[in-house]
Amino acid sequence: MLSIEQVSVSSKNKKIVDSVSLSLHKGDWYALVGQSGSGKTLLSQAIGQMLPPNLQANGKILFHDIDLLTAPPKQMRTLRGQKISYIFQDYQGSFTPFRTIGQHFEEYQKVHGISDSKARKSNAFHALESVGLDTSLYRRYPFQLSGGQLQRVSIAMALLLSPDLIIADEITTALDSVSGHKILELLSLKQKETGFAILFITHDWRHVKRNANRLAVMKDGKIIESGEKDHILHDPKHEYTKQLIKAAPTLDAMQRMYRR
């Protein structure tokens, strides 16, 4: 469904993402891992024409035969939300502090052309319930919710219009490990229910191990290794990948640490 073909992201004088290719199929949990600054976020922003204005993407990003790099902005605005949704690490930044959760749902649906106000409200209630939240949160303000609850609301909104592709950038980093774990369980459950593909950007090999079926490792703007997760975990080819796997705490070690 998504084919990234030799995509580069450059500033005026520097190539930051360098000729990256990867493809996602329906139902994939595709992990993108790699060192800080390797270009993971910029690559994911290029998919939705969300790059900072001083950066330029080249190459091809085909999504159901539409080239996302050259699609007109109006078409992209429709695609984002309806077909491609983002969930970010900085979930707090996605909410306006003085507007209730309900108002956020209202605005999101109005932008995407849902004109029946009864339908909007019932969609919002249903969305909250579908991520395990009480509908009373509809009337609350973002600061009245915990981090885990807010990230659940972000997921509810991202899934609201049944997109084919979810782009999740370090979505558990700002949460404590229990909330993070629950968020991933939720996302995994939703994926089984609806079959979207997910591009999952993470530093955490535990999440790669548990959830991904395929993965790519980025270093210095390039993909140095990609393929089936089981293949790469058992037989990493690149020295950097070997180091990443070795450095990751094992599940057993993590559990022992939490028990202490």
Ligand X SMILES: Nc1ncnc2c1ncn2[C@@H]1O[C@H](COP(=O)(O)OP(=O)(O)OP(=O)(O)O)[C@@H](O)[C@H]1O
Tokens of 217: 């490792």
How many separate helices (H) and strands (E) can be counted in the chain? 10, 10
Q: Which residues of 206-234 are buried (b: 16+ CB within 10 A; e: fewer)?
A: bbbbebbebbbbbbebbbbbbeebeebbe
195 binds ligand X (CB under 6 A): no
Task: Please give the single-letter amino acid code of residue 135.
Answer: T
161 binds ligand X (CB under 6 A): no
Closest-approach residue to Mg ion (CB): 41
First to last CA, the chain: 45
85 binds ligand X (CB under 6 A): no
Query: What's the rounded Cα separation, in Å, for the pair 207 and 197?
Result: 16
172 binds ligand X (CB under 6 A): no
207 binds ligand X (CB under 6 A): no
Query: What's the rounded Cα separation, in Å, for the pair 24 and 1?
Result: 6
Determine contact, residues 178/211, Cβ cutoff 8 Å: no
Determine contact, residues 16/218, Cβ cutoff 8 Å: no
Determine contact, residues 160/141, Cβ cutoff 8 Å: no
Minimal distance in Å, beta carbon 18 to ligand X?
A: 11
Of 36-44, 74-82, 155-163, 183-191, the segment contacting Mg ion by CB under 5 A is 36-44
The one of ligand X, Mg ion, none whose footprint includes residue 136, by CB under 5 to 8 A per kind, is none
16 binds ligand X (CB under 6 A): yes
State which of residues 41, 109, 172, 241 lies at the interface with ligand X (CB under 6 A): 41
Nearer to ligand X, 7 or 127 (CB): 7
State which of residues 8, 24, 28, 41 lies at the interface with Mg ion (CB under 5 A): 41
Residues in contact with 217: Cβ distance below 8 Å, sequence separation at least 6, in sequence order = 33, 34, 223, 224, 225, 226, 232, 238, 240, 241, 244
Nearer to ligand X, 106 or 169 (CB): 169
What is the per-residue binding string for Mg ion in 85-114, x denoting contact by CB under 5 A? Answer: ------------------------------
Nearer to ligand X, 16 or 66 (CB): 16
158 binds ligand X (CB under 6 A): no
Rg (C-alpha) for the chain, rounded Å, is 19
State which of residues 54, 70, 115, 136 lies at the interface with ligand X (CB under 6 A): 54
State which of residues 4, 42, 68, 127 lies at the interface with ligand X (CB under 6 A): 42
Nearer to ligand X, 173 or 213 (CB): 173
The one of ligand X, Mg ion, none whose footprint includes residue 195, by CB under 5 to 8 A per kind, is none
With CA atoms as reference, report the closest residue to 154 among 190, 194, 192, 116.
Answer: 190
Contact set with Mg ion (CB under 5 A): 41
Residue ranges in contact with ligand X by CB under 6 A: 11, 16, 36-42, 52, 54-55
